[in-house]
Chain A
Amino acid sequence: MTTKQSAFSHIDSILVELGADCFCSWHVRCMQSLLPTTNDERPTMVFMSFACIFVPNFPVAAILRAEPELRSHPVAVLEGKAPLEKVWALNEEARHAGICEGMTKLQAELCDEVRLRGHSELQESAAHQALLDCAQSFSPRVEDFARDTLLLDLSGLDKLFGSLPKIAREILRRASEMELEINIAVASTLESALLAAHGFSGVTVIPNGKEAEILGSLPVEILFSDQSNSEEKEEFLKTFHRWGIHKFRDLAALPEIALTERLGQAGLDFQRKARGLGTRNLVPSDPPLVFEEAIELEYPIVLLEPLAFLLNRMLEQLCARLQGRALAAQELRLELTLDNGRLHSDEVAPPLRPLLAKRGTNYSERPNIFQRIIHLPIPLLNPKTFLKLLQLDLQANPPGAPITKVHLRIEPAKPRPRQNGFFIPSAPEPEKLEITLARISGIVGEGRAGSPMLLDTHRHGVFEMRHFFPSENKSWSEGRLQRPMGNGHKALALAEREQPALDHVTDSLVTALRIFRPPIHVRVNFSKGSLSHIRSLKGRQISGNVLWSAGPWRSSGDWSEHDEWMRDEWDIALQEKDGVILYRLVHDLISGRWLLEGSYD
């Protein structure tokens, strides 16, 4: 068998392999350049390989990504203000149903099957970001050519991902996971890849030197797919059709000089594109990492269950994007636009605003936004966990009005791997712990479950609750008082004195104080200048004779503030029915009240 025969047999095997995947149409024109070459046939030049990813009907694709159940339905996207909405984009099913661009909404509504949706900038932006993530998960050199078109440099990636058809197929699969149907073309020039992606559906791999042959069957309208000037486009097309030029190969066959004389430099550029010649270089872009999804709802949502379905879909898409970039989520930001019956300033004409204000009609300068932020102690990447956290948060903090728009944003962070050890004490799993904490907060109230932290103040009983997350390398002293001279300086001094002692067993045991929240208001009787009897005025029944007392110890603070405090403290032993109980008695010198602050136990 000669080298050429063996090469063709290898092509056949590859084509058979590609043909097994029938989820899209394949256009593998020729594969000779992809074959392993022998030493005597090794090419002397190294050719660049570029890919173009193109999303047909991008506005429709962005909506179908958010609402996958509409894939089998004719969908049209409307644009414009309310009475003058017109069809801006539509899918093939809608075109078959008789809808075309420029139709008014009333005309489009005559077709019962068609689903009309408004143009959503946020959804398109999210779809574009997803497309960028998909491309950048394969190549670091990506040009953001247009919102629906990306250009990639695939040179040198064959050692990482395999052959070019395999890379193209993998990109298609990844985009499909992100709910995007794309066309992808691979060629040795950017222009060829761009035109092939616009002209052929599915995967197209154009070998080096075969550009003109393969692109020759495309209609000349493809040349103007990226033209924004419609008048110029119409003029060129009219000229080409008048000359009888309908395909690329017709344009490529024209003499260059004659074409330049008639159409100028633009005509020559079109001919070079039709011949598959490259004229431009890739301009890599590095867009900021934005992980956000948004859905504008046709009807307001009033129940949590349908909102959970939407959130689940958005979270899965965002997590797929994060996974593609090897990132995790550090923070979830949920913004809900509420429909609370108030008009927005956009909906009210400026001359009418004073009139509405006089009649008492409310309108707000900005939409009513309900925002929830969930900060995660460690980066996580589990959409189910995120969904449960959002559900629990919304249950604990309901928005209070129907929802018209959902906007979810994730702040990315590098995942932090955790190294467990045989001798390291077990700790709760972070994902499970977060859900447990959210559920506990739903039971006992927000901010009532966490780690206490004493504040830097002399005021008594001041602390804050922080989010609980068992830190690994935190020593006991990191969770203590922040300033030695603060309120608990005695506690700190005692603790520090014992620090060199044994880790587990202390020589002396601290007498704990059980705080009464709120403190108990008591009436105090004196006998011979000392405390003799105490009786609570309301609430908990405490009454008895004072057997022993120590004090007072006066303390005060915040003199320059509005909430000045000054108090005398006593430690007393009270004879009650059940026995002798030790209490801390406080005389608030500002209000003059006597309070039982807690009991020693």
Chain B
Amino acid sequence: MSSLSWNAADITSSPFLPAQTPDKKTHILNHISGSKILMDVRPASRLEVRPRPEMISTGIAELDALTGGFPRGCLSEICGSGSSGKSSVLLATIAAASRRGESCVLIDASDSFDPESGAAARINFGKLLWVRCGKKLSAINPQPSGKSSLVVGHWLLANQSCADFEADDQSPTTKDVVARDARRTTHDDFTQTRSERRLDQVLKTTDLVLQSGGFGLVALDLAGIPQKFVRRIPLASWFRFQRAVEHTKTALLVVSEFPCAQTCVSVTLKLSPVSRKPSEKNSLSQNSNSLGCPTLPPLFGKRREDFSKPTHARLLEGMQIEAELARTRLERKPMQSVKANFATRAVRAG
């Protein structure tokens, strides 16, 4: 009760109160503090500081210095266009988590993970569950009878999914989503586009993985899915995911080409290639001159003489990446746009 009590002395000197005589002011404040309605109101000065969540390393020193890593029990987001380095950061984060001995899940919407890049990034594959979405299951066909039959070609996905969740899933939200997805599968399966199918699989798989628990990092790779489809993911799904990881040791990471998780995100990291200034291009590349491109490739920034070499003497050394902390809910002070630069190194470059 002591923390809930209204301390009149704190407010007496408040500049927001109208000018009153001290006796009258004290009397009013004592009257207010005695009100039962205001018993549960806590002054802003007495609010407890929200505990800072435990952070996991991204595996990149520059990013760790910028954001402190990605928070556990929260939803974080990495955004960036093509060749912006978001997959490289994702692999580095997974590698760091797997090397710490944590189990990781990569839910790959566009089935684009390259195991060779993963091996080069030092991912412990024994700790990585890679879910490749996108395959159309031809044996699963809609059946109007509502019974799941053992005969091939007479299978009802709706019954299957709902029955699975009925066993031990007590979350009504998940049930609703699955039932809705199942209804949609039943009626619109043949009209469902490839991207919609991939997103359906991503959402269902994410639900299952988060309910299973015990994973240190769950990464949703939505890059490669067109924006109009990713935008269709309802906000309720992101809230559900965020609630599922809350107060757990799991860090949920979403990788996409643009921000999509909206207000559920705790940390948003925007990546972009470091572009060279146009003034430098004329002296570098005959290709760029002839094509008249506005900027030069965001790579191999160290060697200007590289453009003058024949193609077989060139080498993709890596990329220069600029990371911007676009959003964070971990700090109480207003978020400022802070940036960090780092470089990636191509596997061929050794």
A residues whose Cβ falls under 8 Å from a Cβ of B: 301-305, 307, 388, 392, 394-396, 398-403, 424-429, 432-433, 436-437, 439-440, 442-445, 448-454, 461, 463, 465, 468, 470-471, 474-476, 478-481, 487-488, 490-495, 498-499, 503-517, 527, 530-532, 545-553, 570-571, 573, 575-576, 578-582, 598-601
CA distance A532 to B287 in the complex (A): 8
B residues whose Cβ falls under 8 Å from a Cβ of A: 57, 59-61, 64, 80-92, 95-96, 98-103, 110-135, 137, 139, 147-152, 155, 160, 164, 167, 201, 204-205, 208-209, 211-216, 223-224, 249, 273, 275, 285, 287-288, 290-291, 293, 295-300, 307, 311-312, 314-316, 318-319, 321, 342-348, 350
Residue of A394, A398, A546 most packed against chain B (CB within 10 A)? A398
Q: In the complex, what's the smallest C-beta–C-beta distance from B95 to chain A, in angstroms? A: 8
B61: chain A residues at CB < 8 Å are 505, 507
| Cβ–Cβ contact A426 & B214, under 8 A | yes
| Cβ–Cβ contact B296 & A547, under 8 A | yes
CA distance A400 to B153 in the complex (A): 8
| Cβ–Cβ contact A398 & B139, under 8 A | yes
Q: In the complex, what's the smallest C-beta–C-beta distance from A486 to chain B, in angstroms? A: 10
B81: chain A residues at CB < 8 Å are 578-579
Q: Contacts A480-B119, A490-B120 hold; do A443 and B101 have CB atoms under 8 A apart?
A: no
| Cβ–Cβ contact A449 & B214, under 8 A | no
The residue of chain B having its C-beta at the shortest distance from the C-beta of A507 within the complex is: B61
Choice from B60, B84, B102 contacting A505 with Cβ under 8 Å: B60
A515: chain B residues at CB < 8 Å are 111-114
CA distance A363 to B89 in the complex (A): 60
| Cβ–Cβ contact B126 & A548, under 8 A | no
B135: chain A residues at CB < 8 Å are 444-445, 448
User: 20 A-B residue contacts at CB 8 Å?
Assistant: A304-B149, A398-B152, A403-B150, A427-B103, A433-B214, A443-B205, A445-B137, A451-B126, A461-B114, A504-B100, A506-B92, A511-B319, A514-B113, A527-B290, A530-B311, A545-B293, A549-B311, A579-B81, A579-B83, A580-B295
CA distance A492 to B90 in the complex (A): 19
CA distance A90 to B231 in the complex (A): 69
A302: chain B residues at CB < 8 Å are 149-151
Choice from B119, B137, B212, B216 contacting A492 with Cβ under 8 Å: B119
CA distance A478 to B139 in the complex (A): 36
In the A-B complex, list the 5 residue pairs whose CB atoms are closest, starting with the nearest.
A479-B125, A491-B120, A428-B214, A476-B124, A550-B314
| Cβ–Cβ contact B82 & A599, under 8 A | yes
| Cβ–Cβ contact A448 & B151, under 8 A | no
| Cβ–Cβ contact B148 & A395, under 8 A | yes
| Cβ–Cβ contact A550 & B122, under 8 A | no
| Cβ–Cβ contact B60 & A551, under 8 A | no
| Cβ–Cβ contact A449 & B350, under 8 A | no
B130: chain A residues at CB < 8 Å are 449-452, 465
Q: In the complex, what's the smallest C-beta–C-beta distance from B32 to chain A, in angstroms? A: 48
Q: In the complex, what's the smallest C-beta–C-beta distance from A579 to chain B, in angstroms? A: 6
The residue of chain B having its C-beta at the shortest distance from the C-beta of A387 within the complex is: B167
| Cβ–Cβ contact A579 & B82, under 8 A | yes
| Cβ–Cβ contact A495 & B120, under 8 A | yes
Q: Contacts A440-B205, A448-B131, A582-B316 hold; do A517 and B112 have CB atoms under 8 A apart?
A: yes
Q: Contacts A395-B155, A508-B344 hold; do A547 and B167 have CB atoms under 8 A apart?
A: no
